[in-house]
Structure 1
Amino acid sequence: MAPDERAARDGSPRLLREINDRAAIEAMLRRGALTRAELEAAIGLSKPATVALLARLEKAGMVRRGELRGGNRGPAAQMWSVNGALAHVAGVSLTPDDVDIVIADITGEIRVEQRSALPSGNDAPQVFIDAMARAAERVDLRPEQLAKIVIGSPGAVNPATGHLGFAPHLPGWEGFDLPGRLRAELGADVIVDNDVNLVALVEMTTGRARQVRDFVLIWLSDGLGCAVVIDRVLHRGVTGGAGEIDWMHVPDRARLDTGVDRTGARLGSLLSDRSINELAHAHGLKTRNGAAAVQAARTAGTAGQEFLADLARRIATGVAGVVSVLDPEVVLLTAELAQAGGQPLADLVAAELHRLVVPRTPVEPAQCTELAVRAGALQVALGLARERVFGLPATAVGIRSGSENQQEEAR
């Protein structure tokens, strides 16, 4: 018996139509514009049922007709696609220096990309709000017309208070309910999430962690971060601070002394641009920043290898505690230092890590690097908007709308 016949007998044709409609929308979101025959094959319906489905979705404004596709035989086929104008979302990467905004329609088609400088100080949030308004205006929208705005930021938002913590390098953004203020000012649903968490989401969907259930992502830049994923769900902690290893105090196990307190220093300080440069200079390498030092060291012979080994000791010392507790499948390294060091640096970190802890966890460079924070923010925004508009399950792991997330986690 066919599914529609069973549903009719069970008195649930409406439920079956909703299921088929969602399957059709999902197929078009995943594959782009489709002909009726392609959609029929993708969701397994008969020709009459698919024709009726498309007519129903077109009448509801969910899909629209596109161009005709010519073939070798027979008449040209009508193309169908999801109506992108149903909703628009914004994904944002916020750093101490600038704000990088992307606006896309609900199909994921990018409509606007805009990067603006951000001042430090108390007027930074208002400058951000003005930048969002300008970006929305470029597609004839107001900020309140955006279905979701997701912001990736250093630090972490406490779900109970909305306060941004662990982010002293973002002056002007602390001490108040950050998502609440932005929602009030922009008139839209705003979510602020940790930037490294968003990179981990991208890594799970398009990077090296696609088939991995438990992993740790280490952000190696002038600003250290970590994301923890357990059973493919981001672990955030009660205050949102899970993974804030920047603040861990660890001994400096580098072989050469650079004047750091050998008994304990903040890990983020040990892996800062300044500290890495000092370590490089101690090894006879003259460079301008941490990433340049790592890049130069790869071709600098013995001195370069000894510097990279010292740097790997610092990284591994910070990662060891996380690995020994979680025993993840893999540790992924990302951001500027990881890009510059590539697999050789990852191998050195792995070798040093295995001297410190029992788990023989592999260490690899992450795959997603360029614009990964913004991409993660957009991914979350699209997933939540599609959940609201189409009833599709949000693909963003462990993230709901800002108000729901805050209320639930504060309980």
Structure 2
Amino acid sequence: MTSFDSLWTSILDVGQHHSTGGYRRFAWGDADLTLREWFTGEAAARGMDVEEDRNGNLWAWWLPSGWVGEPTGAFVTGSHLDSVPDGGAFDGPLGVVSAFAAVDILRDRGVEPTIPVAVTAFSDEEGARFGVACVGSQLTTGALAPERALALRDGDGITLAEAMTKAGRTPTHIGADPALADRVGVYVELHVEQGRALDLVDRPLAVASSIWPHGRWEFTFDGEANHAGATRLVDRRDPMLAFASSVHSARAAACAHESVATFGKVHVLPNGANAIPSRIKAWLDARAADEATLSTLVAAIEAEARAHCSNDRIELEVLAESITPIVEFPAEPRERLRRALRHLGDIPVLPTAAGHDAGILSAKVPTAMLFVRNPTGVSHSPDEFAEREDCIIGARALADVMAEWVSAEPADRNVDG
């Protein structure tokens, strides 16, 4: 059994729901805390010092022999350990497992790093519990204000501050990391592909070129609660009608703009089988190839929703919950990845419509991404899948990239003597 195999199998049952087979690994919940303990244990088994930063992100350090002081200019790799509701096994954990496996591969090869190496697990990437994605990396880069983050609430009304406190953390310390740019020389994130582009060209790996701009918008449709049986159709102010029409219109608008738009999360009040709803709260996820198209798309969806609401005497409020601009991964790290992997043949360079911590960190540090083939293209689902052989190719490729980076002589080596 390879190092990858043993790491992978050791977390397969954590947070897996017995009936759906999907994973429910939500930020600061039991499964998340178990995976944090797993991360710390795997780091300790490799003699790596673990740091949990002020925002809950985990860092496991492999320092050069004789290194003195704080790490600087490090090669950092990893991903996240949380999931969407009933998510797949690969989204996030594949990158963390592959990072530890890559460290093992380099040590087996006898490689001694000349710069610090870190394996990371960023906190609350999916935003499944508190509604905002990439909380850990957004806080660290200063993209998310601490006061806003602490006030975020889950479906049970528990704030992020309360959840962190219950988990034994000190939420008042969260915020931007002023040393991030000094600490991280490059961040390389390996991730399962969320789509079928690699399967269609029959390649196991790709390098990311960019991340589409994307965001989440909260739509609140306000009508009037009433009796489902006794209320005449003409007397109803049913927000479900406007919402349902808006879902259909969003799909049409996405097709027209060669983009994607999804209403995937819905809260219905009072949510009774024999009651006309009073309110529908729904979250739109929209993504496009460029920012202008995304803005036009969302404006079109909102305009259609308002027209539907007007027809049914419904009030509508639309709030932008989070908007992430386009990320163009820098050419130098991307080409350096391709050079390190040239022995594998031509490596495709592909854009992605999925958001990642690498995209958030790119505002502050050089970043790059590797994708591992997903033969079905299914993600955010229990059916998400990658072949073992492709995963191992990915871990070895990450090791090759790591070796190329950490074996080069750094410009300013902070070692004793």
Bin for the TM-score computed over the shorter chain: under 0.3
TM score, norm. by length of structure 1: 0.24
Larger helix proportion of the pair? 1
- Bigger-Rg structure (1/2): 1
- For normalisation by structure 2, the TM-score amounts to 0.24
